Amino acid sequence: MQYIAFALITAILGIFIIGADLVISIIAFMFGANFRAWFLKGLWALLAMVLLMAYGVFFERNFFRLREVEIFSDNLPESFDGYRIVQLSDIHLDSFGRRSRALEKVVSKVNATDPDMVAVTGDLVSFTPSEINGFEQTLSSIRAKDGVYSVLGNHDYCFYYNWPAESDRLAAVSDLVEREDKLGWKLLMNSHSDIVRGKDTVSVIGVENTSTSRHFPSYGNLNKASDGAEGHYKVLLSHDPTHWKSEVTGKTDIDLTLSGHTHAAQMSLLGWSPSRLLFGEFKGLYGAWQGKLPAKGNYANVKDWKTSEASLEDQYLYVNVGLGETGFPGRIFMRPEITVITLRKYR
Q: Is residue 153 predicted with pLDDT exceeding 50? A: yes
338 versus 312: the higher-pLDDT residue is: 338
Chain segment 70-114, per-residue pLDDT in tens: 999 989 999 999 999 999 999 999 999 889 999 999 999 999 999
Counting residues of the chain whose pLDDT is more than 90, the rounded percentage is: 69
Give the per-residue pLDDT at 10.
62
Q: Is residue 347 predicted with pLDDT exceeding 90? A: no
Q: Is residue 30 predicted with pLDDT exceeding 70? A: yes
294 confidence band (pLDDT: 50, 70, 90): very low
Counting residues of the chain whose pLDDT is more than 70, the rounded percentage is: 88
Q: Is residue 29 predicted with pLDDT exceeding 80? A: no
Question: What predicted TM-score, i.e. pTM, was given to this entire model?
Answer: 0.86
CA atoms of 39 and 259, how far apart (whole Å)? 45
Helix axes 35-58, 2-30, angle to 10 degrees: 160
In degrees rounded to 5, what are phi and psi of residue 25?
Answer: -65, -40
Q: Is residue 15 predicted with pLDDT exceeding 80? A: no
9 confidence band (pLDDT: 50, 70, 90): low
Sheet holding 186-187, edge to edge: 65-73, 337-345, 84-88, 117-121, 148-151, 186-187
Give the per-residue pLDDT at 48.
77
Burial 273-301 (b: 16+ CB within 10 A, else e): bebeeebebbbbbbbbbeeebebeeebee
316-319 vs 284-287, strand pairing mode: antiparallel
Lowest mean pLDDT among 3-12, 167-176, 228-237: 3-12
Q: What is the CA radius of gyration of the chain?
A: 22
